[in-house]
Amino acid sequence: MRDVIVIGAGGGGPVVAKELAAKGLDVLLLEAGPRHAKPRDEWTTFEDDANNPLTGYFRPGPSDRSKPAWFREWPQNSFVWQLSGVGGTTQHFYGNYPRAYPGVFQGYDGADRNEYDVNHRFPFTYAEMVPYFEWVEATMPVMTAAMGHKEQTFFRGAETLGLPVQTTKTTLGPSYRPQENAILQPGGTAGKTSDKNLLNYPQATGCTFCGYCFQGCMRPNGAPRNQFAKRSTDNSYVPMALTANVWARGGRPIELITDAYVTRVHAERRHGVLTATGVTWRDNNSGAEHREDARVVVMSGGCTENPRLWFNSGLPNPNGWVGRGYTDHFFDWLIGSFDDSTGNPKGVGSSARLDFPPYGGLENVGLPPALSAFAGTLSDSGIRGQYGNGRGKTGPWDGPAGRVMGPELKELMAGGIDKLMTVLVITDDDVEPDNRVTLSALPADENGPIPKVTFKHRQRTARTVRNREFMARKAAELLRGAGAKKVYRIDWAPLILHVQSSMRMGASEQNSVVNPRGETRAVKRLFVADNSALSNALGGPNPTLTSQALATRTAEKIFATYFGGDPWVRSESPVVSTDPRVSVRLGQLGL
């Protein structure tokens, strides 16, 4: 019998695995997708090769790309950008690690306290969360983003809004700043040349400004895995978990099994209480099923897969909240065209942000060509100048919202994407029960009934709609202030990237799946530790830091509750993942 089984090696599962393995527990980490152990041999910088949802190496599917991707049903105009594989969606994220706004936590008493989703706050205070934020920030490590010309352009526009520069990690009010992100700062020749012959480790360290964050980080060339610039969990927490005995006396490396699709969580009544006892997982390659038992099971499969697994396991759902509250950030996308180069596709994808609690925030986002085309056409408002659907909004941008096509697109692209600046609107959304994951009536796949994601995009709360419109206007004002000659609003259809809260933590048994320590209310010894456990939309900030801080807290609760341990976050210093001793060990492991 294992001590702990963790289901999913994405953004949250490896955090729990590393923390508990470092305390000497026997941890099994199961991942449904592949492990890209040698990314330089397995990855490319071709966008379709990476991001095609059916055939790309970052699709939700097994290692063998000749086999079909795993199907999900979503009946509305939306795209659920789900990944499988070790690292999960952190493989293609931009490493942005802002903290959640204090207003989304219990006990907040600011003047804007009633402007947040007051019915779905975290069931503890922001002050209690701070040590866990600090732990993750030191472990990754999180640092001020490396910046270039596009960030300079963004800041020039932000200055015209009359907001101060933020100087603390905690967002206290409207402000702008460099991103706090988990990407190693350039060192040596990195960031100073585009000559690939001069960008080899250790001559170059950290971010080399290649501009291909979304295709997975494999640079600098020649670096050991834990020295790759972007701190996705496959480059950070997974190497730490696999080498836990390097730094923790008595610690054990985890066992990681990939292409292992968990199809059932087992539970039985013990002393009258339903208790998790283990899992069944299916080998994607052979089809063989395996049973593993454990003292504790942790679900970290993501916002879509956790509810699916729960339902397929026949676990109880007494309050109906499993799969409900499937929350995003009601994104929008604005494009500014400039006379001069903005450096748009170069360097770190997103290194500047503007926060505006309680409404949300803005980020500059530089994309390579194919993703730029995708982002510019994902509209819910028709094609500008040709047809509309009655939802094309007008405002401080040029004309109605919608796709830019035809002659207007030719004009926009005349200077190439290097003369554009694109801004992502990130809104603080209300947790809405009707946005949910259920089981589809479509045929099951080899792993059981498939999930159906129902997302009522056009039935948002008045507060959510207000937040998005406010931030879209701020984005347009910023682009004008930066010198844009034209500004286009796309009015994005749902692009489900920052998804959270489908197994939400809460104070009330009426509207939450897990209790304040991360354990499911309906099944003892079953925990949730990823974005799906987040209580709300965080006020708008990117979810990874908060999710990993919460996963760290959950690991502490598991250790203290079921393994007789004491809390550790406040009494020990975290081990930074770039420790050279770990590099030596990783080299020995061929990583």
**At 256, which CATH number?**
3.50.50.60
The tally of domains found in the chain comes to 1
Burial label for 10, CB within 10 Å (0-12, 13-18, 19+), is: buried
Kindly state the average pLDDT of the residues 429-453. Answer: 96
The yes-or-no verdict on residue 246 having pLDDT over 50 is: yes
Neighbouring-strand partners of residue 364: 423
Task: Report how far apart, in Å, the C-alpha atoms of 579 and of each of 106, 243, 325, 589 are.
Answer: 36, 11, 39, 16
Burial label for 200, CB within 10 Å (0-12, 13-18, 19+), is: middle
Q: Is the residue at 40 inside a domain?
A: yes
Tokens representing residue 427 in the block: 């809104």
pLDDT in tens, 155-204: 999 999 999 999 999 999 999 999 999 999 999 999 999 899 999 999 99
Intra-chain end-to-end CA distance of the chain, in Å: 28
Q: Is the residue at 38 inside a domain?
A: yes
Could you tell me which of 331, 351, 306 has the C-alpha nearest to residue 547? 306
The yes-or-no verdict on residue 313 having pLDDT over 70 is: yes
Buried b (16+ CB within 10 A) or exposed e, 54-69: eebbbbbbbbebeeeb
Q: Is the residue at 101 inside a domain?
A: yes
pLDDT in tens, 35-67: 999 999 999 999 999 999 899 999 999 999 999
Kindly state the average pLDDT of the residues 23-44. Answer: 95
Percent of the chain with pLDDT over 90: 82
Q: Is the residue at 186 inside a domain?
A: no
**Is the separation of the CB atoms in 376 and 352 below 8 Å?**
no
| Domain membership of residue 135 as a residue range | 2-44+83-142+219-326+500-589
Burial label for 536, CB within 10 Å (0-12, 13-18, 19+), is: buried
Per-residue pLDDT, 582:
37
Please enumerate in sequence order all residues whose Cβ is within 8 A of that of 387, keeping only pairs 6 or more positions apart, or say none: none
Q: Taking phi first (over 0 means left), then psi (-120 to 50 degrees means alpha), and beta for anything else, what does residue 544 get?
A: alpha
Per-residue pLDDT, 253:
79
Kindly state the average pLDDT of the residues 353-382. Answer: 93
Whole-angstrom distance, CA of residue 484 vs CA of residue 466 = 25
Q: Is the residue at 12 inside a domain?
A: yes
pLDDT in tens, 450-461: 999 998 877 899
Q: Is the residue at 288 inside a domain?
A: yes
User: Three-class SS of residue 491?
Assistant: coil
Q: Is the residue at 534 inside a domain?
A: yes
Whole-angstrom distance, CA of residue 540 vs CA of residue 122 = 14
Per-residue pLDDT, 174:
98
Whole-angstrom distance, CA of residue 134 vs CA of residue 545 = 10
Q: Is the residue at 402 inside a domain?
A: no
